Amino acid sequence: MLITPAIVALQLIALGVAGSVLLASGFAWKILRRWDIHSGSESQLILERRTYLISTLVGFALGGELLALLLFTQTAENLSSQFVGAMCATGVLNVNPFGFPTLLLKIALFFLAALWLLLNRVDHRGYDYPLVRVKYALLLAIAPLALLEAAVQARFFLGLEPEVITSCCGSLFSAEGQGAAAELAGLSARPALVLFYATAGLLAIAGLAFLRWPGLGPLFAALSLLSFATAIAGIVAFLSLYVYENPNHHCPFCLLKAGYDYVGYALYLPLFAATATGLSAGLIAPFRRVPSLQAVVPDEVRRLTWLALAGFGAFHGLATWLMLRSNLILLG
């Protein structure tokens, strides 16, 4: 097994998140069963005092989870030089069966953590804690994923044996291969390109309409997730080819390398931020009907929606520039 400061930090974050969420889960059950803001009982007063402490603890833990996704990806990239056959993070994640499941769990927890943090922010701005049950119910849903992530990540790191010969990204992200990565790499460039920009245009229209008609919140949240999926598919299917100027190199992780000016970070950071804010804006919008949030939710949703549109705009704008500047002629 390999031991580096980044690996130790990642495991400490995962254990901290799992422990904090597990500790808060017991309190969450009490909130769901006993919370009554109109009650002046001693038990209600204790719950109100403790919710500040628990929310702060969980907020710090989930904030660390947001950063853990970036650190995990960067760590996998840095470790690629330690394994024979690994050209980038793909090879490291493919060293054992737990690499890619860990990444997928971190992505799922990234969006759930962002949603919880924004729900918590809105809840604290309401004078009667109107979303306290909602956010603690969501916390109960996050808890098993956090525990699973800590276990799977530990198994992945414990299984990193330098003598293992792994496969490079060329074999995984290949149209001739098998699995989801090969399916994405095998997508025809022209239909993928059309879907890429069609989804972006639909999202922009829905976002502007959502600003005027808040009832479109669920639609905007769904389109944010759809845009994220089509963006990842587009990176693998055609955008990476333009960046590498190689019609056979589909890897989404090599974009993080210095040889390509770390352009992957400029693509992924706004994409993930935009998806998180768009998803949150759409799911928070229905709470505008809550009396104590009528002056809070519209401003919060408006801010999140503009952040989402700006993030997706930055991503698609950079993607377009990368294709226009490339010497590769993919579509005749």
User: How far separated are the first and last CA of the chain, in Å rounded?
Assistant: 48
- Tell me: pLDDT of 185 over 80: no
Given 3-state DSSP classes, what are the helix, strand and coil percentages for the chain, each rounded to the nearest 5?
80, 0, 20
Cα gap 98→326, rounded to integer Å: 35
- Tell me: pLDDT of 243 over 90: yes
pLDDT at 183: 76
- pLDDT grade, residue 143 (50/70/90)? very high
pLDDT at 276: 97
Cα gap 299→204, rounded to integer Å: 19
Residues in the chain: 332
pLDDT in tens, 72-95: 999 999 988 888 777 888 888 988
Cα gap 73→18, rounded to integer Å: 20
Identify the residue with better confidence: 148 or 81: 148
Identify the residue with better confidence: 170 or 324: 324
pLDDT in tens, 293-307: 998 999 999 999 999
- Tell me: pLDDT of 178 over 70: no
- pLDDT grade, residue 332 (50/70/90)? low
pLDDT in tens, 197-226: 999 999 999 999 999 999 999 999 999 999
Residues 6+ apart with CB under 8 A from 30: 47
pLDDT in tens, 263-284: 999 999 999 999 999 999 999 9
- Tell me: pLDDT of 188 over 90: no
pLDDT at 80: 84
pLDDT at 175: 62
Cα gap 142→168, rounded to integer Å: 33
Q: Residue 207 is which amino acid? A: G
Beta bridge partners of 165: 84
Minimal CA–CA distance to 267: which of 218, 223, 234, 225?
234
pTM of the model: 0.94
pLDDT at 176: 64
pLDDT at 177: 62
pLDDT at 34: 82
Percent of the chain with pLDDT over 70: 97
Minimal CA–CA distance to 184: which of 237, 231, 138?
237
Which of 54-57's residues contact partners 24+ apart within 8 Å by CB, and which partners?
Answer: 54/24, 54/27, 55/120, 55/124, 55/135, 57/20, 57/23, 57/24
Mean pLDDT, the chain, whole residue set: 90
